[in-house]
Structure 1
Amino acid sequence: MRKIDLIIIHCSATAEGKDFRAADIDRWHRQQGFKSIGYHFVVRLNGDVERGRPIAEVGAHCKGHNATSIGVCYIGGLDADGKMPKDTRTVEQRKAMRNLVKTLKHVFPEAVVRSHRDFAAKACPCFDATREYA
């Protein structure tokens, strides 16, 4: 098992209320030249957690930190018009993400939870995951 020291939280940068699946993100990422979806987990609007890239594989979600991180992406992150960053997490997503992070921290006790925006000039994930999951 590879050494994991970060759990990085992302949003899909999609409009509020529009649901997508890990398969959709996989298709988008392949269209951008990725070998497959860059995230390890995707949390849908209803709270379903879908697997993306296998944990044993290095992700493609945060430049400079992929080798030692797990990428978690929730569907949403933009207002209903799809233009402005917004914390669009549903109650179900919040619960599912909290449970997923708890599980990942159990498997990787040394890992620290961080927001993608901590590493890139982006609003992603449109809330302060670093503080929320501290």
Structure 2
Amino acid sequence: MNQIEILKYLEEQKTTRTITDLIVHCTATKPGAKVNVDVIDGWHKERGFKKQPQSGRICGYHFVVLPDGTIETGRYLSEIGAHVSGQNSRSIGICYVGGLDANGKAADTRTPEQKEALIWLLSRLVVMFPDATIKGHRDYSPDLNGDGIIEPWEFVKECPCFNAAIEYSNI
């Protein structure tokens, strides 16, 4: 969808869910991987996720940002996501395609178009959900040493392969 279509979509979305978190993810795919919401629907169906009654989607994310900056919609905002165990009922999941380098190692592979689209989308979601904080999936890893800081060695996943909380702190 283009920005005008996404704005219209956001205006139409109504939810009574209390949203406290906007959680950024990556697909953990190498550059050039042909991934979109339909592909993720298939992945998540294989993992046992259920088709949603309103959107008809299985994809656990609410938005997917393609390498060219196109934003695709997954689950409706009124539908609980399936992207971070224990956090789904109060969050919105936003996923960019990428996250692995050509060798399969975790890397920030966002294209300039994805970076721009993520900022644009998150800026609109913060207006809709002003009490929400922006974090990455990795920020929900357990604090294994109990020091109040989730350090890189404690990450269950490296997703989204950059520090979303810091990068988007000005939004």
TM-score bucket of the superposed structures, by smaller chain: over 0.9
Higher-RCO chain (CA-CA 8 Å, sequence separation at least 6): 1
Runs of 4+ in structure 1 deviating by more than 2 angstroms, as ranges, are none
Residue of structure 2 equivalent to 1:131:
166
CA contact (8 A) 1:11 1:75 kept: yes
Determine if the alignment matches structure 1 residue 77 to structure 2 residue 99.
yes
Aligned counterpart, 1:8: 23
Tell me whether 1:94 sits opposite 2:115 in the alignment. Answer: yes
How do 1:1-134 and structure 2 match up within 5 A?
Answer: 1-35=16-50, 36-81=58-103, 83-120=104-141, 121-134=156-169
How much has 1:80 moved relative to structure 2? 1.3
Aligned length: 133
Identity percentage over the alignment?
48
Between Structure 1 and Structure 2, which shows a larger proportion of strand residues?
1
Distance 1:93 1:110 in 2: 24
TM-score (norm 2): 0.76
Q: Work out the CA distance in 1 between the residues paired with 2:27 and 2:105.
A: 13
Q: Based on CA coordinates, which of the two structures has the bigger radius of gyration?
A: 2
Give, in angstroms, the shift of residue 69 of structure 1: 0.2
- Runs (5+) with no aligned partner, structure 1: none
C-alpha root-mean-square deviation of aligned residues, in Å? 0.8
- Tell me the amino acid that sits aligned with residue 102 of structure 1: S
1:31-77 CA distance string (max 9 Å, x none): 11001110000000000000001110000000110000000000000
| C-alpha displacement of 1:20 | 1.1
Task: Say which SS state the counterpart of residue 77 (structure 1) adopts.
Answer: coil
CA distance in 1 between counterparts of 2:24 and 2:91 reads 10
Q: Displacement of 1:17 after TM fit?
A: 2.8
